[in-house]
Amino acid sequence: MNSSIVNTNYDLLPGSYLFSTIAQKIKEYQGAHADADIIRLGIGDVTTPLIPEVIKAMHNAVDEMAVKGTFRGYGPEQGYDFVREAIVRGEYTARGIEMDPNDIFVSDGSKCDVANIQELFTENVNIAIPDPVYPVYLDSNVMAGRAGVLQDDGRFSKVTYLASTAENNFQPDLPKNPVQLIYLCSPNNPTGTVLSRETLQKFVNYANENGALILFDGAYNCYIQDESLPHSIFEIPGARTCAIEFRSFSKTAGFTGVRCAYTVIPHELSKLHAMWNRRQCTKFNGVSYVTQRAAEAIYSPVGWQQTKEVIAGYMRTAGVIRKELTAAGYTVFGGEHAPYIWWKIPDGEKSFDFFDRLLATCEVVGTPGSGFGPCGEGYFRLTAFGDYERTCEALKRIREKL
């Protein structure tokens, strides 16, 4: 093959995908220390089994697939009505937000949706991303040739970075340069902090006044403990004409291995709504019937109660991480409305060096802050999705050995 036919934008990406790099480092350590007892608080992957209501719904759906009269082949690319309506009732009507089920596009993951959405836009559109943030927003735009080149300061030349730091209470300022696409993530991955109603209103006003679009990732909204905090961008007046929202069952209902999510494109954004519909119909065949029945099940009264109990369990773990690190003299953020704890590491130490030191001294894995953006340097992310007892053991090792 002639190498001139490949998309050379891929060459602009630094190294491998963050969580693949971490996985490789763990593998190398395990290879060199065969009896290492590693505690993984790195990638945000769930560990609690699916709730009984979900399992019941999956079993029932499998039985339906075994019978001629109820067997299903291809489903609607946008998702079955039963799950779109359940999402509207459980997520939006319940919070006083009006939502049309036809604005919900069910998919097999938010990672794919947030990475794929950028193909609806021209190559020269200017993007803004929070710093630090989930790396997929940036990487997918680098692949599309929209980010420019990586500079010595760790920033891409054509990207506007919205610093979200302890100094601004994790409430980023509006972009200084003109941008047309703004990614926001609340609760934020990795800092675990929540954008206030005022901050979101400021961004919605900016977007409407400047013809920009907000891509709002709400994958962790179900971890918000304070009902007065915004859970959805659509709680903000004016958002329906300037925002798309991404939601996932991965962290809400333990679906990282099951795969189900949804993207909300209000019909007010009729052009984008039609384009995404066209894209999904062309490139996607929908989520399996069994999986959509599983997702629907979390919205029954019993399913919701069981779901909330699982979330409460993870938040208990988050509370312990916060408490123990604080007691050991560290400064931490997040972990109150999100399953991530943003840990300030000793001054001057690089977060990837801290990763190596924590692994070597405690055999505990986390995620280096700089992997999420330049403003993440000096920080380290721990996930509360790990097993409770093992997380307590990790904290004991940190207190005693680090």
- 184 lies in the site for ligand MLT, by CB under 6 A: no
Given the complex with ligand MLT, which of 220 and 289 has the nearer CB atom? 220
HSE-CB at 128 with a 13 A cutoff on CA atoms is: 23
Using the contact rule CB under 6 A, the part of the chain among 40-48, 264-272, 312-320, 348-356 near ligand MLT is: 40-48
Nearest distance from residue 352's CB to ligand MLT, in Å?
Answer: 16
**Are the C-beta atoms of residues 289 and 61 closer than 8 Å to each other?**
yes
**Are the C-beta atoms of residues 46 and 251 closer than 8 Å to each other?**
yes
Task: Considering only residues 185 through 204, tell me which ones interact with ligand MLT, judged by CB under 6 A.
Answer: 189
- 273 lies in the site for ligand MLT, by CB under 6 A: no
**Are the C-beta atoms of residues 279 and 116 closer than 8 Å to each other?**
yes
Instruction: Name the closest residue to ligand MLT (Cβ).
Output: 44
CA distance 205 to 20: 38
Quick count: other Cβ atoms within 10 Å of Cβ 5? 6
Residue type (1 letter), 136: V
- 107 lies in the site for ligand MLT, by CB under 6 A: no
Given the complex with ligand MLT, which of 142 and 207 has the nearer CB atom? 142
- Token pair for 89: 């009732």
Given the complex with ligand MLT, which of 105 and 134 has the nearer CB atom? 134
- 261 lies in the site for ligand MLT, by CB under 6 A: no
Per DSSP, 89 falls in state I
Given the complex with ligand MLT, which of 186 and 266 has the nearer CB atom? 186
Closest CA to 366 of 383, 349, 350, 378: 383
Residue type (1 letter), 294: A
Given the complex with ligand MLT, which of 61 and 384 has the nearer CB atom? 384
Burial class (CB in 10 A: 0-12, 13-18, 19+), 390: middle
Using the contact rule CB under 6 A, the part of the chain among 42-50, 62-70, 330-338, 352-360 near ligand MLT is: 42-50
CA 290 to chain centre: 24
- Token pair for 324: 């123990």
Nearest distance from residue 353's CB to ligand MLT, in Å?
Answer: 20
**Are the C-beta atoms of residues 382 and 354 closer than 8 Å to each other?**
no
Using the contact rule CB under 6 A, the part of the chain among 38-46, 95-103, 279-287, 288-296 near ligand MLT is: 38-46
Nearest distance from residue 23's CB to ligand MLT, in Å?
Answer: 11
Instruction: Figure out which of the listed residues 43, 236, 253, 295 binds ligand MLT, where binding follows CB under 6 A.
Output: 43
Q: Which H or E run contains 60? A: helix 52-65
Nearest distance from residue 381's CB to ligand MLT, in Å?
Answer: 8
Nearest distance from residue 110's CB to ligand MLT, in Å?
Answer: 7
Given the complex with ligand MLT, which of 111 and 155 has the nearer CB atom? 111
- 44 lies in the site for ligand MLT, by CB under 6 A: yes
Count residues binding ligand MLT (CB under 6 A): 6
- 45 lies in the site for ligand MLT, by CB under 6 A: yes
- 111 lies in the site for ligand MLT, by CB under 6 A: yes
Please name the residue ranges forming H helices in 269-300.
Answer: 270-283, 289-297
Quick count: other Cβ atoms within 10 Å of Cβ 227? 7
Residue pointed to by tokens 């208990």: 316
Q: DSSP of 337-365, one letter per residue? A: SSSEEEEEPPTT--HHHHHHHHHHHH-EE
Using the contact rule CB under 6 A, the part of the chain among 43-51, 62-70, 98-106, 343-351 near ligand MLT is: 43-51
Given the complex with ligand MLT, which of 13 and 275 has the nearer CB atom? 13
Nearest distance from residue 217's CB to ligand MLT, in Å?
Answer: 10
Using the contact rule CB under 6 A, the part of the chain among 26-34, 37-45, 91-99, 100-108 near ligand MLT is: 37-45
- 221 lies in the site for ligand MLT, by CB under 6 A: no
- 132 lies in the site for ligand MLT, by CB under 6 A: no
The answer, yes or no, to whether the previous bond of 346 is cis (omega within 30 of 0) is: no
Residues 6+ apart with CB under 8 A from 303: 51, 53, 54, 57, 297
Residues contributing to the site for ligand MLT (CB under 6 A): 43-45, 111, 134, 189
